[in-house]
Amino acid sequence: MSMSVETLLREALAPVEPPADLGLRMEAALANITELAQEELEGWELSAMRDPRNWVRPAAAVVITITAGSALIALRVRSRHRARADKSGGLLDLAEQTLVDIAQETRRILPER
């Protein structure tokens, strides 16, 4: 029995629901990556930084910290967006609360310097 191309495409491109715990797993992985990169940065020896060959690991740690940290902040802020939207008094209030939430998450993730 032959199926039409349209039917095959419809079946192949049907939406798939992600696992229920995907958000939690992503958050845990991003938090772990950010933490490991921050530990790498804390292990810097400034005297060794005079040699440019030693710059690769710290530079990679900075990039990873920024990237994974930003993704983690976005994930956490986005997960609370709907609750904030229901409680907000308007678009300006929602934007203000979102910025406050971003600042709080950033302080929580990044070490105090």
pLDDT tens-digit map of 47-79: 677 778 878 888 888 899 889 989 989 988 888
Structural domain of 72: 18-109
pLDDT tens-digit map of 22-55: 888 998 999 999 888 888 888 777 767 777 887 8
In a domain, 65, yes or no: yes
In a domain, 88, yes or no: yes
Residue type, 39: E
Q: Give the pLDDT of residue 59.
A: 87
In a domain, 1, yes or no: no
Do residues 68 and 30 touch, judged by C-beta distance below 8 A?
Answer: yes
Q: Could you give phi then psi for residue 51, rounded to 5 degrees? A: -90, 115
Structural domains of the chain, count: 1
- Is the sign of the CA dihedral 35, 108, 82, 97 positive or negative? negative
Do residues 72 and 109 touch, judged by C-beta distance below 8 A?
Answer: yes
The answer, yes or no, to whether residue 8 has pLDDT greater than 80, is yes
